[in-house]
């Protein structure tokens, strides 16, 4: 091989290696975007760089893989669905208390599934790996709940909080909590279903 051919070969090999590296990074980025959905964009906007955000998301995946998550058995699922329906019925008479109880019920469900229930940001990070599409709902519900504690939330906002909690609750439950039971076990009066309006 002539010196020119060696140089051209080295340049081609380096170019192919660079293209392969770009393809690997693009593939990882695409996989993170698909897995985390809107959470990907949120973390990218919060961090100094896309690389830092992607490192954090991969770290979330690593921590999530170490969790011992358990699916709910049918009995637990039915118990949670019944508790949710009870919450909805109580909303009309005591919306503030119902929103607090909804937060507690969601937290119990998170714990029973095997997720740590530390501070809110830790919960969000752990849930984001499998439940990223409902985290906006959870954040909104949590914010309204905090406003409720300060006496700043309107009844409509409280209703919205219950709707938001229901989105994550259904995602964790694996089914819509209302309509989960067989028709013979459901209440005939549906006017108390505040979250379906």
HEC profile of the chain: CCHHHHHHHHHHHHHHHHHHHHHHHHHHHHHHHHHHCHHHHHHHHHCCCHHHHHHHHHHHHHHHHCCCCCCCCHHHHHHHHHHHHHHHHHHCCCHHHHHHHHHHHHHHHHHHHCCCCCCHHHHHHHHHHHHHHHHHHHHHHHHHHHHHHCCCCCHHHHHHHHHHHHHHHHHHHCCCCCCCCCHHHCCCCCCCCHHHC
Q: Report the pLDDT value the prediction gives residue 188, as an integer from 0 to 100.
A: 38
Contact 28, 7 (CB under 8 A): no
More confident residue, 132 or 186: 132
pLDDT > 80? residue 26: no
How far are the Cα atoms of 111, 128, 133, 140 from residue 63, in angstroms, in the given order?
A: 16, 11, 19, 25
Q: Report the pLDDT value the prediction gives residue 25, as an integer from 0 to 100.
A: 67
Mean pLDDT computed over 41-55 = 90
Q: What is the pLDDT of residues 99-136, one digit of tens each?
A: 999 999 999 999 999 999 888 999 999 999 999 989 99
pLDDT confidence bin for 59, thresholds 50/70/90: very high
Max CA separation in the chain (angstroms)? 88
Q: Domain locations in the chain?
A: 3-65, 74-196
pTM of the model: 0.75
pLDDT > 50? residue 5: yes
More confident residue, 27 or 103: 103
């Amino acid at each position: 091989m002539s010196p020119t051919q060696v140089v051209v070969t080295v340049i081609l090999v380096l170019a192919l290696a660079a293209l392969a590296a770009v393809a690997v990074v693009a593939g990882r980025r695409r996989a993170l975007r698909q897995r985390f959905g809107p959470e990907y964009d949120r973390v990218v906007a919060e961090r100094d760089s896309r690389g830092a955000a992607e490192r954090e998301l991969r770290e979330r995946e690593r921590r999530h893989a170490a969790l011992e998550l358990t699916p709910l058995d049918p009995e637990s699922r039915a118990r949670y669905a019944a508790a949710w329906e009870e919450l909805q019925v109580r909303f009309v008479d005591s919306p503030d208390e119902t929103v607090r109880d909804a937060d507690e019920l969601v937290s119990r469900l998170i714990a029973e599934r095997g997720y740590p229930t530390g501070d809110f940001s830790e919960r969000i990070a752990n849930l984001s790996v499998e439940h990223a599409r409902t985290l906006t709902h959870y954040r909104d519900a949590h914010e309204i709940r905090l406003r409720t504690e300060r006496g700043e939330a309107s009844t409509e906002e409280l209703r919205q909080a219950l709707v938001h909690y229901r989105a994550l609750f259904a995602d964790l439950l694996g089914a819509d909590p209302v309509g989960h039971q067989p028709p013979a076990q459901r209440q005939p009066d549906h006017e108390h279903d505040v979250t379906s309006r």
